[in-house]
Amino acid sequence: MNTTRRTVLKGATASGALAALIGAGALRPTHVLAAEWNKAAFEAKDTAGALKGIGAGTPVESKDLILKVPDIAENGAVVPVDVISNIPKTTSIAILVEKNPQPLCSEFDFANGAMAEVSARIKMGQTSLVKAVAKADGKFYVAQKEVKVTVGGCGG
Amino acid sequence: MADPMKIRAQMKGDVTEIRVLMGHAMETGQRKDAAGATVPAHFIQSMSVDVGGKRVVDGQIGTSVSRNPVFGFKMKGAKVGDKVVVSWVDNKGDKRSDEAVVA
């Protein structure tokens, strides 16, 4: 992530400066509010690359991080995933599917009273380990479980 | 152009459960159509949930989230009547923002 740019955006109280940036096509207005999409991490082709992209490196396994996925998914296009982190000070949760063409599925940052808990529906191309990675107090933790997929959801 | 989201925010004790259904094709860029041509990637890249004017969840999403994504979150500190605003932006710059009220 381009931290300099973020700082500039956050500090840009002079709307003129901001308008100039938008006008120049340097940024889209919608991205001022939302976090910038982590292209490197999402486009990584392997789990190690995706983990590196979100700054996780090699996370430590934790039993306080609960990953709920089905043992067998009949339809890889819709696999329900629930992640609950009981690790104190969890600030973000990421979901990865190891054998998907792009393993990083989603990443959520929590603030202002949000509990470290997320449920989502993901696509899986084939039988694979699903990983949940939680960031708590600057450290990364992982929980993983294999989901058997009978019909893939990536190639269609 | 995108369909409105379905947002449900409900108090369960002191916890607010927020569930969102977004109407989006979430094309991965890997699927081929009947003619064998690759369907270009078209997917939601970022989403956010604001409750009572405060950012609660900031999410980034890749191609491997299911079509018509459903997300569930929980939070503490909200109360009945608080406004819930959910927004998303996709890789083509399309965006949508919908509101609900904590019930």
Quick check: A26 pLDDT over 60? Answer: no
Lowest mean pLDDT of A30-34, A81-85, A143-147, name the range: A30-34
Structure tokens at A140: 């990364």
- Among candidates A96, A146, A143, which has minimal Cα distance to A123? A96
DSSP state string for A103-127 = -EEEEEEE-TTEEEEEEEEE--SSS
Q: Is B79's Cβ below 8 Å from some Cβ in A?
A: no
Domains of chain B: which residue ranges?
6-101
pLDDT at A97: 96
**Among A35, A102, A118, whose Cβ lies nearest the Cβ of B46?**
A35
How many A×B Cβ pairs under 8 Å?
A: 129
Q: Which residues are bridge partners to B13 per DSSP?
A: none
Q: How confident is the model at residue B87 (pLDDT cuts 50, 70, 90)?
A: very high
Q: How far does the CA of residue B40 sit from the closest CA of chain A (Å)?
A: 13
Percentage with pLDDT > 70 across chain B? 99
Average confidence score pLDDT of chain A: 82
- What superfamily in CATH does domain B6-101 come from? Immunoglobulins (2.60.40.10)
Q: How confident is the model at residue A35 (pLDDT cuts 50, 70, 90)?
A: low
Gap between the Cα atoms of A133 and B54, Å rounded: 25
**Among B60, B67, B74, whose Cβ lies nearest the Cβ of A117?**
B74
Quick check: B22 pLDDT over 60? Answer: yes
Mutate to test the interface with A, among B14, B60, B94, B102 (most CBs of A within 10 A): B60
What ipTM did this prediction achieve? Answer: 0.93
